[in-house]
Structure 1
């Protein structure tokens, strides 16, 4: 059962429960998440510096509140080029400099812009569900968040982890992500260390691990 099915199953189970005073139990009970999450939006406004363009849209801590936020905002494929969505555990900012991120890195998925309408939203939603559903099991504490970048030349989806030195854990997370997103075995995912990205002199960052 994938992440989408797990969370949808929660709703089905609630609907089947007995009512209280003639009203559905769902009116009284929400399904808490293991963490509180913050959804960020980066607006590509060249009049402001990078940090001023990065805003928290909403925070949530239940399954129902996640869906309320997700169904209200524009889908990732519809936001303007140059803009980003980020979902991070509350207290972690979507930037390399954050103390929770600075020793970590990201699994990076490059997406052809021609497949934006067919793959991007599906991959992004499944990644979000994996985050809030703690789909990486005991390795979920290593997860900081995820970012989707909408760019004219091609979109990117990155899963950010806390400690890039934990090779075995990083590889396992990459393999689990690949399975969850149903990415073909012929497609290679690359892991980039944030410190390498911050020090790079060209347009391509060094790849530390692959799956």
Structure 2
């Protein structure tokens, strides 16, 4: 039986207003489907996810609260989803957007993330929307490829809305190669006018995130 906290989050995700927990209107879905048929293809598909960070959930419980918004495979499809969901600044606190390569789930236990980690970028709220948009465009345009070590890759981008500074994350697949990357320099070059309150890397292998144990959401730190 699912924990009460899980059921509460799932119900909230389904029933609150689109500002707090966005859903794609039917008209938008129709437009996206059309874009996906005739648009310019992306290098790989990307999936938009939504979740709410809730302390104390197991990995399985956290996974149950994830909501897949849409998987896009074209530039036009990407913009159709982006333009039909609220900007991050309009989300309620503790909600998170993720754009993950293929249909990788934004959790450490996904097989694509097991050996990976992410760069955590804390930004002032007035910069959240701009940073989120720029990182998304860099990801789908494969602009990070020259900043990654050979054999490594970007798995996704996340934004988490917090009480104070918001947190953005750049997920990579191999934490052992992170120190060979120039991701920090790349981010700063993409956003030269943004002041970052903090920027650091964390490998998932350093965390105790196990099935049956308390799951610490990647954006909590």
Shift of residue 187, structure 1, vs aligned partner: 6.4
- 3-state SS of the aligned residue for 2:103? coil
Shift of residue 189, structure 1, vs aligned partner: 2.3
Equivalent in the alignment of 2:29: none
Do residues 81 (structure 1) and 93 (structure 2) align?
yes
Equivalent in the alignment of 2:175: 164
Equivalent in the alignment of 2:136: 128
Contact persistence 1:127–1:181 (CA under 8 A): no
Could you tell me which runs of 5 or more consecutive residues in structure 2 were left unpaired when the two chains were aligned: 1-34, 210-215
Shift of residue 184, structure 1, vs aligned partner: 6.1
Could you tell me which runs of 5 or more consecutive residues in structure 1 were left unpaired when the two chains were aligned: 1-25, 206-211
Measured in 2, the distance between the counterparts of 1:97 and 1:69 equals 26
Question: Alpha carbon RMSD of aligned pairs, Å?
Answer: 2.9
Shift of residue 29, structure 1, vs aligned partner: 4.8
Query: Which of 135, 153, 164 is matched with 1:153 structurally?
Result: 164
Measured in 1, the distance between the counterparts of 2:158 and 2:190 equals 17
Equivalent in the alignment of 2:15: none
Query: Which of 135, 153, 170 is matched with 1:142 structurally?
Result: 153
Asked which structure has the greater RCO (Cα within 8 Å, sep 6+), the reply is 2
Measured in 1, the distance between the counterparts of 2:207 and 2:115 equals 12
- Provide the TM-score with structure 1 as the length reference: 0.70
Shift of residue 37, structure 1, vs aligned partner: 0.3
- Structure number, greater radius of gyration: 1
Equivalent in the alignment of 1:67: 79
The 5 A counterparts of 1:1-20 are none
Shift of residue 36, structure 1, vs aligned partner: 0.2
- Provide the TM-score with structure 2 as the length reference: 0.67
The 5 A counterparts of 1:1-211 are 29-43=38-52, 49-112=61-124, 116=125, 118-138=126-146, 139=148, 142-170=153-181, 172-182=182-192, 189-198=199-208
- 3-state SS of the aligned residue for 2:176? coil
Q: Residue deviations 1:29-56, cap 9 Å, x none?
A: 521110100000003579x932221111
Shift of residue 102, structure 1, vs aligned partner: 1.5
Measured in 1, the distance between the counterparts of 2:153 and 2:86 equals 28
Contact persistence 1:44–1:53 (CA under 8 A): no
- 3-state SS of the aligned residue for 2:48? strand
Shift of residue 103, structure 1, vs aligned partner: 1.1
Alpha-carbon spacing, 1:158–1:183, altered in 2? closer, same or farther (3 Å): farther
Alpha-carbon spacing, 1:111–1:187, altered in 2? closer, same or farther (3 Å): closer
Runs of 4 or more, structure 1, over 4 Å off, are 183-188
